[in-house]
Amino acid sequence: MPFTPKPHAALLIVGHGSTENPDSSTPYFEHADEIRNRGLFGEVHCCFWKEEPSMREAGYMIDAEEIYVVPDFISEGYFTQDVIPRELQLEGPTTRRAGKTWHYTLPVGVHSSMTGLLLQRAKEVAPDANPAETTLFIVGHGTGLNQNSTKAIRDQVEHIKASGAGYAEVLDAFMEEQPFIAEWDKLATTPNVIVVPFFIADGLHSYQDIPVLLGIETEPGEAASQREVFRHNPHHLRGKTLYYSSAIGTERHIADVILDQIADFDARLHETR
Amino acid sequence: MKLAERLSQAIAAGIRRIGQVSIRPDLAGAAYALCHIEDEAADPHSLEIHNGAAAARDISTWAEDGHYRFTKSELSLKRGWILRLSSADELKQALDLFYPAGVGLWMADKDDHLKIEHLRDKLNRQTGMYRFARNLGDAGAQKLVREVCGPSNCCVKKILWQIDSNTPLEDSEASRFDGVVGAFDRQAAIPLLCREACNHFVAEARKASKAENDAKR
Ligand code: SF4
């Protein structure tokens, strides 16, 4: 669906950011650039939990009176439900304060169009792998801390299975809870395996931690931007052919998911009027 | 009036610097050009030319020694570049990458619209692992300002907050700093403003508060 431009509104993309690794905020700036270049909003900005500008400062960069806030996060949870509303002083889906209207959408990761993106990424990373002989893993962090992210991944797995993409198996796996991604070769019964990390950024998890768990690397390597872990596909390991993708959030088309989330928000707003 | 228009008016009226960035209208054939303040006197041809606002992020991400500048007001911007920008909108975008929200904070302050948050309020709204920062005592907080903020600790923002509404910061280089780098006409610079303690400060507050607690036991 084409997105109706909003020249009078601002888009504010909220990300996590990192005090250790600048690659962690790169996707947010890229998604912002992509949408800015399409001229769909009067202004496009980013703000962060761990980097500058902070959420409290973000409002000072914005001219527009109507602001769409999109959490560039993979699932609902502590950040989208506690931290962001608190820091941006949001009272619900729409907040009016000091002459400005703030709309708060759902996080990008829970939008149904993520399924298509995951499939596209899997195809790109393993163009010659026959799906009928391939297991697709969607990988998350998985700790007790955020059950929602685990659920978001399980939901995607179900959507992909139902999509008719033809993969022999589609499995969820996690770094720190069962089923463990470290056991990918035992979990998968097919000769080919594709692993897509369900994170926004290529932070330390997808550059360093998961490659070690997979057995591509023996120990965590140097700083992320110097890494080449994604360039050496496929890996012949543990008797299988393994294709490893960068984090799904680094995908350029996340910009479209951001726009989809805004369009859905507007549709809901319209219904309740 | 839009922030970018106000910014271009301020530049027409003589504003030339923010932080370690020099703002130069009509240089190198662009509407605006930016360079490091220590490269102001350099021959523009000797500097590496970049175009467009997005390049500001690349220029400002790493310090000369290779460390990641996650605090943008850190006194470690690298030299040797010139950034050409085609409009006031692009200029504002670029400055927001060098000094996030810096222009807007300055204008809000001039308009008396800047909301300042004192340290206690900031610490009291921390949750998760940073909750413990709440327990930091006043003396510990004052000490932390001297140890974390100010140019000698590499941060060049002017602190606007107090410990709480009744407790100003004690006098120190950090609390006195006015947000403008170096000996420069104060009227021609946009000061960098700190309206609430940053993440780095909160993380240090958590550590200091834990140390205080351990010392009591
Ligand atoms: S609290 Fe403000 S002045 Fe202190 S280090 Fe952080 S940004 Fe700089």
**pLDDT per residue of chain B (217 residues) written in tens, 0 to 9:** 899 999 999 999 999 999 999 999 877 678 999 999 999 999 888 999 999 999 999 999 999 999 999 889 999 999 999 999 999 999 999 999 999 999 999 999 999 999 999 999 999 988 878 889 999 999 999 999 999 999 999 899 999 999 999 999 999 999 999 999 999 999 999 999 999 999 889 999 999 999 988 887 7
Strands (E), A89-225: 94-97, 100-104, 134-140, 169-174, 192-197
Across the A/B interface, how many CB contacts are shorter than 8 Å?
64
Distance of CA A101 to the CA centre of its chain: 26
Which residue shows structure tokens 């496009």? A44
Q: Give the gap in angstroms from C-alpha B48 to the nearest C-alpha of chain A.
A: 22
Longest dimension (CA), chain A: 62
Q: Which residues from chain A sit within 8 angstroms of residue B4, using beta carbons?
A: 63
The set of protein residues with a Cβ atom below 6 angstroms from ligand 1 is B 73, 148-149, 155, 157, 159, 194, 197-198, 200-201
pLDDT digits (tens, 9 = 90+) for A208-231: 788 888 888 776 665 445 456 666
**Rounded to an integer, what distance in angstroms lies between the CA atom of residue B111 and that of residue A213?**
54
Q: Which residues of A235-249 are buried (b: 16+ CB within 10 A; e: fewer)?
A: beeeebbbbbbbbbb
The CATH architecture of the domain made up of B119-216 is 2-Layer Sandwich (3.30)
* Residue ID of nearest Cα to ligand 1 atom 5: B149
- Contact indicator for A137, A172 with CB cutoff of 8 Å: yes
Q: Give the gap in angstroms from C-alpha A22 to the nearest C-alpha of chain B.
A: 7
Q: Report the atom number in ligand 1 closest to the C-alpha of B157.
A: 3
What does pTM read for this prediction?
Answer: 0.91
Q: Are B96 and A62 within 8 A, CB to CB?
A: no
Look at A13 and B129; give whichever has higher pLDDT. A13
**Rounded to an integer, what distance in angstroms lies between the CA atom of residue A170 and that of residue A243?**
14
- Domain ranges in chain B? 3-99, 119-216
Length of chain A: 273
Residue numbers of A between 65 and 104 with CB closer than 8 Å to B: 78, 82-83, 86
Question: In angstroms, what is the span from residue B196 Cα to ligand 1's centroid?
Answer: 8
Peptide bond before residue A7 is cis, with ω within 30 degrees of 0: no
Closest by CA to B45, choosing from B85, B94, B81, is B81
For the structural domain made of B3-99, what CATH number should be given?
3.30.1360.190
- Contact indicator for A44, A10 with CB cutoff of 8 Å: yes
Mutation target vs B (from A57, A80, A97; most B CBs, 10 A cutoff)? A57
Q: Does A50 touch chain B (CB under 8 A)?
A: yes
pLDDT digits (tens, 9 = 90+) for A112-140: 899 999 999 999 999 999 999 999 999 98
pLDDT digits (tens, 9 = 90+) for A37-75: 999 999 999 999 889 999 999 999 999 999 999 998 888
Beta-sheet pairing, A235-237 with A66-71: unpaired
Beta-sheet pairing, A94-97 with A66-71: unpaired
ipTM score: 0.92
* Residue ID of nearest Cα to ligand 1 atom 6: B198
Closest by CA to A16, choosing from A64, A65, A77, is A77
Residues of chain A with pLDDT > 90, as a percent, come to: 60
**Rounded to an integer, what distance in angstroms lies between the CA atom of residue A29 and that of residue B191?**
25
pLDDT higher than threshold 70 for residue A202: no
Q: Does B7 touch chain A (CB under 8 A)?
A: no
The three-state secondary structure class of A192 is strand
Domains and their CATH numbers in chain A:
6-109+251-272 (3.40.50.1400), 111-250 (3.40.50.1400)
What is the sign of the dihedral through the CA atoms of B104, B105, B106 and B111? Answer: positive
